[in-house]
Amino acid sequence: MASSTKLHSFCSLAMAALFLYSASVQLNDPDWYFWLPLYSGACIVNLLNCIISSKPIKNLAEATLFLGNFLFIKVVVEDFRSGISGFWSLNLSERVTREKIGSGLVIISMALQLLRSNSPQVSVIKHRIKFPRYIDYGSESFE
């Protein structure tokens, strides 16, 4: 994984806090058993990915991305069948709209974490200023 930057770490911690809050309020949801693992997995991936990089974290990110896609499709189909709100609706008083936004954020976050973990490591090389040791005058060099 590429070396962590301060901005990446800050964004990962902010998303981890958001997903932790989302997981904590799922207990009164009728289908909490779907959403609690989704938000908990996203929280763990965002939290650990800014600290360490390992194969199990990448596997958890892939599983969370799969679950996020599944739940996004589930909510869109449920919304389409019931006609509760439109696909682009931002009416947050509706449960399906909140779940679409939440699963969409998980999908985006996991896709970005996986893209970052697959990118080649970029090394920053500091160039040193080199001063000449001798000077060439014309066609002859004097040492």
Read off the pLDDT band of 4 (50, 70, 90): low
pLDDT classification of 122: cutoffs 50, 70, 90: very low
Structure confidence by residue, pLDDT tens digits, 28-83: 888 889 999 999 999 999 998 877 778 888 999 999 999 999 999 999 999 889 88
Domain boundary assignment for the chain: 6-141
Q: Tell me the per-residue pLDDT of 78-110, one tens digit each, with 9 for 90 and over.
A: 988 988 877 788 888 888 888 999 999 999 999
pLDDT for 21 equals: 93
pLDDT by residue (tens digit) across 51-60?
777 888 899 9
Which residue type occupies 134?
A: Y
Q: What is the pLDDT of residue 74?
A: 94
Which residues touch 59 (CB under 8 Å, ≥6 apart)? none
- CA distances for 56 relative to 1, 2, 43, 48, 52, angstroms: 13, 17, 15, 11, 11
Amino acid at 46: N
pLDDT at 142: 53
- Tell whether the model's pLDDT for residue 126 goes beyond 60: no
